[in-house]
Structure formats: structure tokens, C-alpha cells
């Protein structure tokens, strides 16, 4: 199965109005009509995902790590153990650690009549920039609350905040949203005209995300009910 950037594509066109200015790193070399730079669209893609992939170079080799994150305005936050090598390297690097952060949603399986034109419908965001260590105590707490609330909105106010020992063991890095782009594919398969009469099913299998009923911890007090913010999920 080829990658998802076949030349005949459908999706938004670049438009930096109310958005991020395209750069040499954020304009794709293929299927550029799928690129988008609208600020609200990019925020919505970031806010809907749970996991990002953080890429950087370590000892001359690329490393990509999946991790949780949170957004506050035009800044993303990632946290981890103070013993984590990328977080240590961010603190040592001046002015910070060059990184690439990505988020992807898979919205549908696109089945074409030919194997070559099989694809997926997706929404993705790529962020390039310099990751910096957050040292201000208030910003660190804001960042950690944002990461918790990114997973379940409202959860940070309904859980015990990190204590001094936990904060000391936690590193937080920030990445400003400056060099950013989205890429989106929608629609059906792009079959060749000569293949339209072939006896193979073609179309899209939509994928949706959902939550099952919450399962309480075995040691939870039975008097504690499921909070409304969890029910809302």
C-alpha cells in the first residue's frame, strides 16, 4: 500500500489568512493542496488528539517518542521524568532543543479498485520549533494542569495537585506554535478511469472515536459517583 499523498488529492488549499505563515518546512512537496495553515483548524486538530509524537536528534540519530501534551493558547507543553534524556537535553541546549512534533487523526479507510490508490482520510498537524525547559513555577503548574485537562477536560480541578516531591521529579518543556501546518485528506478513492468498470468494491470505511462506560477503580468508595465531566465524554 503506498503512502497517502497520491497526486490527485482532495482537501483544503493553503491559506495563511488568520493563520500561520507557510515556510520551507511547512509547505509539502507533494499534494500541497491538502495543506492548511488556518489557526482555528490547527488548534482543533491538536485539541482533539490524545498523543503526539516528538521527534529530535540524539547522538546524530533521529528519535521519535509518543507522549501526552497540552495546549495553552499558542504554546504546547510536554512533560516527563527529569531523568528522560530528551527533557535533560532540552535543558542543556542553548537556546533549546530543535524538535518536530506531530499529531494525526485517521478518519477513514479509503478502498480503491486498484491497490495503488488505497489510502486513508486523515487530519494531521506538524510543528517545527525549539523546545525549551519551563522553569517558572506558575507556568509549570499551568502546563501540568493543561496536560491533564487535555485528556479529560475538567479533571485537573478534580484531582490532587502534584506535591513538591512530584514536581521535582517532573520536567516540562514548551514549544511555541509558530512554524505550523496541517494536512488533510477527505473524500473517496481516486481511481483511474480505466479501473472504474472493475468488479471490486470501492469507497470509504469511516472511523469514529468513542468512549465506553466508565469502569470504577476496585478500591473506589461506592459513594463517589461518576462526575459529569466524565459522563460528558
CATH number at residue 84: 2.30.110.10
Burial of 53 (0-12, 13-18, 19+ CB in 10 A): middle
- Structure pTM? 0.86
Q: Which of 28-42, 96-110, 169-183 has the lowest mean pLDDT?
A: 28-42
Does residue 211 lie in a domain region? yes
66 - beta bridge partners?
53
Task: State the total domains in the chain.
Answer: 1
Is 22 among the domain residues? no
pLDDT value of residue 90? 72
The Cα 9–Cα 184 span in angstroms is 10
Domain that holds residue 153: 32-231
Are 56 and 84 a contacting pair, CB within 8 Å? no
> How does 144-179 read in b/e, with b if 16+ C-beta sit within 10 Å?
bbbbbbbeeeeebeeeeebeeeebeebbbbbbebeb
Residue 188's Cβ-count burial label (10 Å; 0-12, 13-18, 19+) is: middle
Question: Could you tell me if residue 97 is inside a domain?
Answer: yes
> What distance in Å separates the CA atoms of residue 47 and residue 38, rounded to the nearest whole number?
14
Cell readout for 30 is: 507533494
Least confident of 87-96, 104-113, 137-146, 181-190: 87-96
Instruction: Tell me the mean pLDDT in the region 192-205.
Output: 97
Within a domain: 126: yes
pLDDT at 123: 97
Please tell me the predicted confidence (pLDDT) of residue 18: 85
* Assigned domain for 79 exists: yes
> What average pLDDT does range 134-157 have in this prediction?
95
pLDDT computed for residue 86 by the predictor: 67
**Whole-number pLDDT of residue 95:** 80
Query: What sign has the CA pseudo-torsion 43, 44, 48, 54?
Result: negative
Tell me whether residue 137 is in a domain: yes
Q: What is the pLDDT of residues 87-100, one digit of tens each?
A: 667 766 678 899 99
- Residue 9 inside a domain? The answer is no
Measured CA distances, 98 to 1, 41, 146, 211 (Å)? 32, 24, 23, 35
Which residues, in sequence order, are bridge partners of residue 119? 110
What nine digits make up the cell of 174?
514548551
Q: Is residue 21 part of a domain?
A: no
Question: Which residue, among 143, 120, 158, has the nearest Cα to 71 in the 3D structure?
Answer: 143
Amino acid at each position: 500500500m503506498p503512502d497517502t499523498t497520491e497526486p490527485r488529492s482532495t482537501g483544503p488549499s493553503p491559506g495563511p489568512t488568520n493563520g500561520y505563515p507557510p515556510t520551507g518546512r511547512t509547505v509539502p512537496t507533494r499534494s500541497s493542496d491538502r495543506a492548511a495553515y488556518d489557526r482555528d483548524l490547527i488548534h482543533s486538530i491538536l485539541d482533539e488528539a490524545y498523543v503526539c509524537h516528538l521527534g529530535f536528534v540524539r547522538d546524530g540519530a533521529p528519535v521519535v517518542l509518543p507522549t501526552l501534551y497540552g495546549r495553552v493558547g499558542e504554546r504546547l507543553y510536554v512533560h516527563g521524568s527529569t531523568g528522560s534524556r530528551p527533557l535533560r537535553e532540552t535543558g542543556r541546549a542553548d537556546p533549546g532543543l530543535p524538535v518536530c512534533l506531530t499529531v494525526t487523526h485517521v478518519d477513514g479507510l479509503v478502498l480503491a479498485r486498484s491497490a495503488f490508490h488505497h489510502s486513508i482520510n486523515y487530519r494531521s498537524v506538524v510543528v517545527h520549533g525549539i523546545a525549551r525547559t519551563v522553569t517558572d513555577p506558575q507556568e509549570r503548574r499551568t502546563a501540568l494542569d493543561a496536560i491533564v485537562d487535555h485528556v479529560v477536560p475538567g479533571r485537573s480541578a478534580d484531582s490532587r495537585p502534584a506535591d513538591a516531591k512530584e514536581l521535582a521529579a517532573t520536567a516540562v518543556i514548551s514549544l511555541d506554535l509558530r512554524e505550523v501546518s496541517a494536512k488533510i485528506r477527505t473524500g473517496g478513492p481516486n481511481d483511474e478511469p480505466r479501473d472504474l468498470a472493475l468488479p471490486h468494491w470501492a469507497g470509504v470505511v469511516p472511523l469514529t472515536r468513542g468512549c465506553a462506560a466508565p469502569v470504577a477503580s476496585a478500591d473506589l468508595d461506592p459513594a463517589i459517583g461518576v462526575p459529569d465531566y466524565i459522563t460528558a465524554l
